[in-house]
Amino acid sequence: MNFSPMVDLVRDPRWGRVMESVGGEDPYLGQIFAKTMIEAYQGEDISKLGNAAACVKHFAAYGAAEAGRDYNTVDMSEREFRQYYLPAYRSAIEKGAEMIMTSFNTINGIPASANQWLLRDLLRKELGFKGVVISDYSAIEETIAHGVSKDKKEAAYKAIMAGVDIDMMSNVYSNHLKELVEERKVPEAILDESVLRVLSLKNKLGLFENPYGNIDEEREKKILKSQEHLEKARKLTAETFVLLKNDKQVLPLKKDSKIALIGPYADNIAILGSWSMFSDKAKIATLKETFEKKVGVENVLCTKGSHILEEKDLNHILVEDGATPIHTENEKEQERQMLEEAIEVAKKADVIVLAIGEHYRQSGEACSRANIEISQIQQNLLNKLRKLNKKIVTILFNGRPLVLNHVAENTDALLEVWFPGTEGANAITDVVFGDVNPSGKLTMSFPQATGQCPIYYNHYNTGRPHIKDIRFASRYQDIPTESYYPFGYGLSYSKFEYSDLKISSHKMKEDSSITVTVKVKNNSNVPGKEVIQLYLQDLVASVVRPTKELKGFKKEKFEAFEEKEISFEITPDMLRFWNENLEYQAQTGEFKVFVGPNSEHTLEEVFEYVEAR
């Protein structure tokens, strides 16, 4: 079994677990990734060698924790829940996910692991889930701290009655279920249901015939770190990078350039991120090594320039992890010396490549942050280097959207590489030197300031929507209202141009569809891939609807100067939503259709949905 995919909808980058979410802030994207991952993990037969039972997490709405603080309260209307947070879970269940993991948060004031409406009425009866429900780590026992269970025995009672089959990591089931059944507080039939579900999954996995499943030491040696897998990882990793800025086509770099590779991630293997504790650190390449291999040792000048965090901030992380805090003699003097060395190295180079970002323990579970900017010590490094008036390419390592205003404004090119994994350094090198053309797009909006969070593109209009230079509107006084980088954003070494948006009809009936076409041209001599995105807006409905909603996307490869006509089909099902009576329906009226390279820069058309006569 595999504790994945994590399909929680996330609209607040302060929450550290955004790095795990497959769909980011968009429910449609979450559905697509969820079902694709279920298919990949389980195949048609989960007992087949190499397949695994998928466990969808965290049910439900864990990504909506108040203030982006992990494990915190979730409180929302049922309509909001059904419209945006439920679709990805539903998609995974429809694809046959074998397991569901409960979330730590409350739903309607009741913790998920003790919530009968959530697990029995919604999950089992309405969504038809027949597989195994497992709690998250000690979540059943934690209902005591929530204040809905007085002790472990009551926690066990509430969880088993709610429908949780397996208690992960606490002892409330093992110590109290037998007693609860013998006292006839828990019907034996309830226990039998859970036991049967667990045994059925073991039977599907073939564990009665082969108790050790896929465990095979010789096979493990051949598969882990096999050349075939490393090559695939390198190729796929490069496709996840997002080019956020590239003024005057600084990237790709020329291979005969003298490069100053500077920053705490310049020669650092800590690029894997959270949940990578079992990786073989000895076999992970650093940027310094891959750059030198690509362009020669003589063309790469490397120095650290600064630490990722100031000592007090790093020690806070170390203490939380149970590690020994550090103490540096003359910390400020060391910082000054590192800056001076970076400046001297940069002076000798044609271009500066700055590798900065979050500490890997600043993103992930229990890594909520109230300030999501790059650390000041790294910004100081950027400021000093900027004064040299040399071209700066910034490579950003992080697990969440960050406030990047200062970084972006003081760099010529900005490449978002996240925490890129085992083949990360090789993949970055491929992109930076032009062997691979970046094609990734953002699955979450990047804010102007932390105070904008939560922030997401598919928001509602207000009665006073923001209009430039109008004071009494829904806006901030001190920063723009829109995101700094919008959902779906991402540049390329190619230059893509959109034109001639057309729809096959300006009226659509419930038994018909509309075809949308747009011309996309690669107006450059660089072959590349582009993600063409389709959005819809319901202009007038019985409840307020979002300003835009992603309804389709296609990733297409374009040769140099090639133009293609890209088409999408709009069906009545794409217009449906949960109305004020919690009925899922499409309502007649006008709709806008948007097509473009991201959620903000689009071409528009209008059509009307009418009743069939």
Cα–Cα distance between 365 and 353 in angstroms, integer?
30
> What is the residue whose two structure tokens read 């203030």?
67
Which CATH number is associated with domain 16-204? 3.20.20.300
CB–CB of 361/367 below 8 Å? Answer: yes
Cα–Cα distance between 485 and 141 in angstroms, integer?
41
Of the candidates 427, 419, 356, 429, which has an alpha carbon nearest to the alpha carbon of residue 386? 356
Active site residue 136: yes
Helix (H) or strand (E) holding 444: none
Q: Could you report the per-residue pLDDT of 28-58, keeping only the tens digit for each? A: 999 999 999 999 999 999 999 889 999 999 9
Cα–Cα distance between 588 and 352 in angstroms, integer?
56
Token pair, residue 186, equals 């828990």
234 vs 322, which has greater pLDDT? 234
The distance from CA 240 to its chain's CA centroid, rounded to whole angstroms, is 11
Cα–Cα distance between 341 and 101 in angstroms, integer?
50
Main-chain phi, psi angles of 93, to 5 degrees? -65, -40
Q: What angle do CA 68, 441, 226 make, to 5 degrees?
A: 95
| Given 136, 165, 167, 412, the catalytic residue | 136
Q: Could you report the per-residue pLDDT of 527-565, keeping only the tens digit for each? A: 999 999 999 999 999 999 999 999 999 999 999 999 999
590 vs 332, which has greater pLDDT? 590
User: Which residues lie closer than 8 Å to 67 by C-beta, 6 or more apart?
Assistant: 12, 14, 368
Main-chain phi, psi angles of 451, to 5 degrees? -65, -10
Mean pLDDT of 223-241: 93
Residue 214: pLDDT above 80?
no
Output the pLDDT for position 225: 77
**Low-confidence winner among 187-201, 317-331, 509-523, 573-587 (lowest mean pLDDT):** 317-331
User: Which residues lie closer than 8 Å to 407 by C-beta, 6 or more apart?
Assistant: 356, 374, 379, 382, 394, 396, 414
Cα–Cα distance between 307 and 327 in angstroms, integer?
13
> What is the residue whose two structure tokens read 């509430």?
158
Output the pLDDT for position 279: 79
C-alpha dihedral, 89 to 99 to 228 to 236, nearest 10°: 20
CATH class for domain 496-610? mainly beta
pLDDT confidence band for 470 (50 / 70 / 90):
confident
Name the β-bridge partners of 392. 352
C-alpha dihedral, 213 to 36 to 576 to 20, nearest 10°: 80
CB–CB of 205/171 below 8 Å? Answer: no
For the chain, what are the domain ranges? 16-204, 234-432, 496-610
Residue 277: pLDDT above 90?
no
Q: Is 141 helix (H, G, I), strand (E, B) or coil?
A: coil
Distances (CA, A) of 103 to 155, 275, 532: 15, 18, 34
Of the candidates 440, 419, 295, which has an alpha carbon nearest to the alpha carbon of residue 355? 419
Q: What is the mean pLDDT of the chain?
A: 96
Sheet with 507-509, strands from edge to edge, namely 507-509, 603-610, 589-596, 528-538, 549-558
Q: Is 97 helix (H, G, I), strand (E, B) or coil?
A: coil
Output the pLDDT for position 329: 83
CB–CB of 121/159 below 8 Å? Answer: no
234-432: which CATH architecture?
Answer: 3-Layer(aba) Sandwich (3.40)
Mean pLDDT of 245-251: 97
Output the pLDDT for position 469: 79
Q: Could you report the per-residue pLDDT of 472-486, keeping only the tens digit for each? A: 999 999 999 999 999
Q: Whole-model pTM?
A: 0.96
Output the pLDDT for position 442: 98
